[in-house]
Amino acid sequence: MNILITGGAGFIGSAVIRHIINNTSDLVINVDKLTYAGNLESLTEIDLNERYHFEQVDICNRSEVDRLFAQYQPDAVMHLAAESHVDRSIDGPATFIETNIVGTYTLLEATRTYWNTLSNEMKQAFRFHHISTDEVYGDLEGTDDLFTETTSYEPSSPYSASKASSDHLVRAWLRTYGLPTIVTNCSNNYGPYHFPEKLIPLMILNALDGKPLPVYGNGMQIRDWLFVEDHARALYKVVTEGEVGETYNIGGHNEKTNIDVVKNICALLEELVPNKPAGVEEYQDLITYVADRPGHDVRYAIDASKIERELGWKPVETFESGIRKTVEWYLSNENWWNRVLDGSYTYERLGSN
């Protein structure tokens, strides 16, 4: 297949592209605007592969998106391009509205125009796979409840509201125009190449530098953690085997409180990096509780039984195995994250600065 992947220089998108290039014979067109979170250095291992093509394009630019469809004639779209950081959405929601809602609308319309030119057989085979988040569901009050594919939407932040909006657009384009769409909603991802503003890499890198480990509120917020390479396998499974019109929830079956995640990281660093920064006796001593963010959801947890039952996918990594792999990756790839922290990773941005 020729698969057009938006947001392919991001954390999850790059994992999907590495998986496809390394494990299939498909061709990938990576379409990324290269905002701060897009990093082509996450794709170094495959960027010279003849089945990989990169295009620096903003999905809100309709004429450029039309050009991509005409040039590459994709058999499927995997739409991952999104602004995704909750704190940033609180400080500046406009970008989230533009990228996540207007961008998705623009991509849907360009896809529909292209899809209408295809033969009936190619129309039937085509897929538009929209990758979303469990945050569209709001949060769970009980300790046993789980998000299912039919849970009602109650987004809490500008980020999750914008993603909920994009989910509704995708489903409307199926219902109204017949565009063959599929939606997936995933839990919190973690793993290699994760941008350092996110919880797990932030804690690893701050601890290594002897800086405070900021934990919101009391740290008892619960998330279901999904190793990014497990997610990449699931997404490819969905785009190749999923049923049109279906929603699939993708989770890691790993519910952890934020404070337990941080303590787990500290324990691994005690084992792997016993020589601590000056003045630090134990990494846990760096934990610092800070004021909670507005509208902070208490608990997310996904029921991923449908994708296991219908498509045969389930996560390979436990949280314990995945977090160890993640910490070890950051310890072994200091050059990658140093270039993110000092901003030098942006120098190749094809005209940006």
**Catalytic center residues:** 134-135, 159
With CA atoms as reference, report the closest residue to 282 among 222, 213, 226. Answer: 213
Is 61 exposed, middle or buried (CB count within 10 Å of its CB: 0-12, 13-18, 19+)? middle
Matching residue, tokens 């409180």: 257
Amino acid at 205: L
Q: How many Å apart are CA 219 and CA 284, to the nearest integer?
A: 13
Measured CA distances, 241 to 237, 308, 329 (Å): 6, 12, 31
With CA atoms as reference, report the closest residue to 180 among 276, 80, 108, 117. Answer: 108
Contacting residues for 201 by C-beta, under 8 A, at least 6 apart: 194, 195, 330, 337
Cα 72 to its chain centre, rounded Å, is 24
Q: How many Å apart are CA 251 and CA 7, to the nearest integer?
A: 21
Per the DSSP assignment, residues forming a β-bridge with 302 are 147
Q: What is the CA radius of gyration of the chain?
A: 20
With CA atoms as reference, report the closest residue to 229 among 191, 188, 185, 186. Answer: 191
Matching residue, tokens 């279906």: 246
User: Please, are residues 108 and 128 in contact by the beta-carbon 8 Å criterion?
Assistant: yes
Q: How many residues does the chain have?
A: 353
User: Please, are residues 111 and 77 in contact by the beta-carbon 8 Å criterion?
Assistant: yes
